[in-house]
């Protein structure tokens, strides 16, 4: 199957966009994410798929917690920062408002809220993204309301790390030189 019909169908779903953040080994990371969903009701579980090319993936691999922040219409600046820049080159957290959450995970403040997930599983299906599943340990909708930011609002943002980028640093324990 070529990507054409598949890509058009997925585009038509027009996923809501979030920013996923994590911290480990003295590093903070975060990226724009369209691949995410609740994946169990009882117990509650949420899944976030991270590109193996991303700085955020490498930091999140060694992190206990990941935070998920829904973006709203009007938060284009955050989408460009977290989707168009890479933590391999810039410190995104000097350019946005945040505070430390459980396990040091950066929580973006002033937005529509966030959930903090404690990781319960890591699923790698051999593709270019890996799935982090977590149980919610904190969730708040405090903050500005409004319509969600959607894929079609930001599909002109050029990813800071295209998925075919080789990882710049190998994760610890990967055995790679």
Ligand X SMILES: Cc1cc2nc3c(=O)[nH]c(=O)nc-3n(C[C@H](O)[C@H](O)[C@H](O)COP(=O)(O)O)c2cc1C
Which positions lie near ligand X, rule CB under 6 A?
Answer: 29, 31-35, 49-51, 54-56, 82-88, 129, 151, 154-155, 157, 159-161
Q: CA-based angle 80:4:148, to the nearest 5? A: 35
Residue nearest to ligand X (CB): 160
Greatest pairwise CA separation for the chain in angstroms: 47
What are the distances in angstroms from CA 103 to CA 73, 97, 107, 161, 168?
29, 18, 11, 26, 25
Closer to ligand X by Cβ: residue 24 or 54: 54
Shortest Cβ distance from residue 108 to ligand X (Å)? 14
Identify the three-state secondary structure at position 44: coil
Shortest Cβ distance from residue 136 to ligand X (Å)? 19
121 CB neighbour count, 10 Å cutoff? 12
Closer to ligand X by Cβ: residue 34 or 143: 34
Closer to ligand X by Cβ: residue 26 or 43: 26
Shortest Cβ distance from residue 159 to ligand X (Å)? 3
Closer to ligand X by Cβ: residue 82 or 114: 82
114/35 Cα distance (integer angstroms): 16
Closer to ligand X by Cβ: residue 85 or 113: 85
Identify the three-state secondary structure at position 104: helix
Tokens of 152: 């079609």
Shortest Cβ distance from residue 128 to ligand X (Å)? 9
Shortest Cβ distance from residue 21 to ligand X (Å)? 10
């Amino acid at each position: 199957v070529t990507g054409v019909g598949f890509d058009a169908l997925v585009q038509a779903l027009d996923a809501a966009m979030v920013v996923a953040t994590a911290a480990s080994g003295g590093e903070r990371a975060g990226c724009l994410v369209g691949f995410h969903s609740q994946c169990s009701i009882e117990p509650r579980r949420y899944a976030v798929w991270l590109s193996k090319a991303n700085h955020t993936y490498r930091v999140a691999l060694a992190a206990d917690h990941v935070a998920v922040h829904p973006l709203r219409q009007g938060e284009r600046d955050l989408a460009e920062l977290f989707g168009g820049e890479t933590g391999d080159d810039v410190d995104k957290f000097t350019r946005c408002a945040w505070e430390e959450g459980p396990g040091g995970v950066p929580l973006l403040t002033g937005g529509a809220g966030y959930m903090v997930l404690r990781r319960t599983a890591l699923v790698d299906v051999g593709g270019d993204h890996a799935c982090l599943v977590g149980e919610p340990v904190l969730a708040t909708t405090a903050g500005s309301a409004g319509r969600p930011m959607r894929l079609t609002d930001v599909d002109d943002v050029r990813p800071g790390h295209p998925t075919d980028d080789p990882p710049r640093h190998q994760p610890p324990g990967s055995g790679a030189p």
